[in-house]
Amino acid sequence: MEIQYLKKLKNYYDNNPKISKIGVPEQEIQTLEQELKIKLPTVYKEFLFLAGNRDNILDDWNGGFEYLDLIQINLKESMDNVNLHLKPFFVFAEYNNNQCMFFFLDEGENPPIYGYAGEKFHKNEKGEYVYYIKTNDSFSEYIDRCIEAS
């Protein structure tokens, strides 16, 4: 796979040979898209290809590629429980079945990232508590920050 958006992540693995990258084969990514009946943004496919079976970049937020389908169900239930109905989205990282990081599927090939919490602890620009907020302008920006923090 040609890496267009996550060159910093690729370089991170290339320049740190002690850290093994455990990516997901392209065919498995295509299978996931078919099973979920969605089209993932290019940047996220790059992430899966480079590091999808590794959770060191996302710290405690990610259970790995094999749990992505279950994560979608769990977080959709959490959002339904608080009567939050959003346009089609994809949860790429979750914590404790009640917090997640996600992107909307219709916001381009390098979409903004949003954080959700069922406890409604995020504050919007008006200072009001809300269930979700935009946390990063793009997925690649989010991954770059994760790399810098590691």
For residue 52, the model assigns a pLDDT of: 80
In a domain, 48, yes or no: yes
Distances (CA, A) of 9 to 37, 47, 94: 27, 8, 20
For residue 61, the model assigns a pLDDT of: 62
Q: Are 114 and 21 contacting, i.e. CB atoms less than 8 angstroms apart? A: no
Which residues, in sequence order, are bridge partners of residue 132? 116
35 pLDDT band, cuts 50/70/90, is: very high
Q: Are 93 and 82 contacting, i.e. CB atoms less than 8 angstroms apart? A: no
For residue 118, the model assigns a pLDDT of: 85
Mean pLDDT along residues 9-17 = 87
Listed residue (109, 105, 110) closest to 136, CA to CA: 110
CATH number, residue 118: 3.40.1580.10
In a domain, 53, yes or no: yes
144 pLDDT band, cuts 50/70/90, is: very high
104 pLDDT band, cuts 50/70/90, is: very high
Residue 25's domain spans which residues?
7-149
**pLDDT, tens digit, 9 for 90 and up, residues 58-69:** 665 666 788 888
Q: How far apart are CA 1 and CA 60, in angstroms?
A: 27
Listed residue (21, 130, 30) closest to 86, CA to CA: 130
For residue 59, the model assigns a pLDDT of: 60
Q: Which residues contact 84 (CB under 8 A, 6 or more apart)?
A: 116, 131, 132
For residue 88, the model assigns a pLDDT of: 95
In a domain, 76, yes or no: yes
**pLDDT, tens digit, 9 for 90 and up, residues 109-134:** 999 999 999 888 888 889 999 999 99
Two structure tokens written together for 132: 């979700």
In a domain, 23, yes or no: yes
Number of domains composing the chain:
1
In a domain, 2, yes or no: no
In a domain, 107, yes or no: yes
